[in-house]
Amino acid sequence: MTTHAYRAALLRFADDGTPLYDADGLLVVGSNAQGQAVVQAAGDHAALIGQYLDLPVQDWRGHLIAPGFIDLHLHYPQLDVIGSPADGLLPWLEHYTFPHESRFAEPAYAAEVARFFFDELQRHGVTTALAFSTSHPASVNAAFDEARARGLRFITGKVLQDRHSPDGVRDQTEQSLIDTEDLIRRWHGVDRLGYAITPRFAPTSSDAQMRGAGELAARYPDVWIQSHVAENRDEVRWVAELYPQARSYLGVYDSFGLLRERAVYAHCIHLDETDRALMAATGTAAAVSPTSNLFLGSGFFDFGAAQDAGMRHGLASDVGGGTSFSPFHTMLAAYFVGREGHTKAGLSLTPSRLWWLHTAGAAQALGLGQVVGGLRVGQEADFVRLNPQATPLLARKTAQANSLDELLFSLIVLGDDRAVAQTVIAGKS
């Protein structure tokens, strides 16, 4: 690609998570040796422009360039399950989610939903996602086809669920593992795509299926693993009944070799200190899903304990349990969850920390901290152009911001898809 330069306020993140901000910034995007669109230079406009005098500069002053958002956990087939009323997680799965997911055996149906899903991500400024498909290989192929056509860095996998699941979504143990390996070979590492071994959660996989998933995880160490753990108390009790010998719910995954770098578990609410230490020691990450946890009344993720344990974590929408694709809504909900001080110690996550958890911190949780998320030189050029004047109140509030945190918090509290003026994927929008 040819080199492009953009002038606007510019937010980046250093390797250690420190926010870097230029009120009048310049972002230069060019190609690396592999022909990928990457950040060539980024920083203060006045300091850099001397080196790029013959380059036409896109003038976006008044707007903010920031890293594209990274959603660590959601279910693309649950697009139409958003906002379904139910009495907690298990009834919600039974009445809405499983019947809906059974339709994804049909490739044309899966393709239509995938198109809508990726349009929605783009509208909300999400440039990378780790998503569940359904138990049907057709659902995985549909998502990868669509993500590839859009040049996205995207990770998904076929759901494994061979028990405690109704007809239509339940798979067959042996075939499910053959399908998983076929899909890994077909898709993992193609362009920017990655495969994730995807047991739905411990209660819906037999020991044989879990063992097979662990064997595949060992055979393909750069493939991701994704599942759910310790979301709600009924679920935790059910797992304790199914696995009376396990030390904890997380311990079940450990016993099958499913905790390691590039393993990401949604929720991680009802963990203890031993669990958190195990996650930190194995490099396993938590996908914190606050709108979903508030919607389903599941509980409150303990950000302070996770930080103290050195456990990787980042933010996720968990659509359709989650109520919005918007990273702004997710960051605000994460703030609410952090503040909650009755079930754990309450803390105020800073606006730049919330933002990091949904960009560079999420990339780190995926093991992609050097690749995307911070707009550092050499990183892939996935970014958003945000309009701080998108609504009257947002314009009024951001005009009064005296610091980066004040600006970011106004966007977190008042922002939504209207603030996303443009989403640039691999240098293209």
Under the rule (CB under 5 A), what is the footprint of Zn ion?
Answer: 266, 318
Query: Which residues on neighbouring strands pair with residue 42, listed in sequence order?
Result: 27
- Output 271 or 371, the one with its CB closest to Zn ion: 271
Shortest distance in whole angstroms from residue 320 CB to Zn ion:
8
- Output 65 or 266, the one with its CB closest to Zn ion: 266
- Output 114 or 268, the one with its CB closest to Zn ion: 268
Phi, psi of 93, rounded to the nearest 5 degrees: -60, -45
Helix, coil or strand: residue 216: helix
Shortest distance in whole angstroms from residue 73 CB to Zn ion:
6
Question: Residues 24, 9: contact at Cβ < 8 Å?
Answer: yes
From the list 387, 374, 384, the residue with the least C-alpha distance to 424 is: 384
Contacts of residue 21, defined as CB under 8 A and 6 or more positions apart, other chains included, come to 9, 10, 11, 12, 404
The 3-class secondary structure across 217-255, one letter per residue, is HHHCCCCEEEEEECCCHHHHHHHHHHCCCCCCHHHHHHH
- Output 73 or 385, the one with its CB closest to Zn ion: 73
Shortest distance in whole angstroms from residue 410 CB to Zn ion:
30
Reduced DSSP (H G I as helix, E B as strand, rest coil) percent helix, strand, coil of the chain, to 5:
40, 25, 35
Shortest distance in whole angstroms from residue 200 CB to Zn ion:
9
- Output 139 or 410, the one with its CB closest to Zn ion: 139
How many whole angstroms separate alpha carbon 98 and alpha carbon 16?
41
- Output 146 or 318, the one with its CB closest to Zn ion: 318
From the list 195, 196, 158, the residue with the least C-alpha distance to 178 is: 158
Shortest distance in whole angstroms from residue 93 CB to Zn ion:
10
Shortest distance in whole angstroms from residue 193 CB to Zn ion:
20
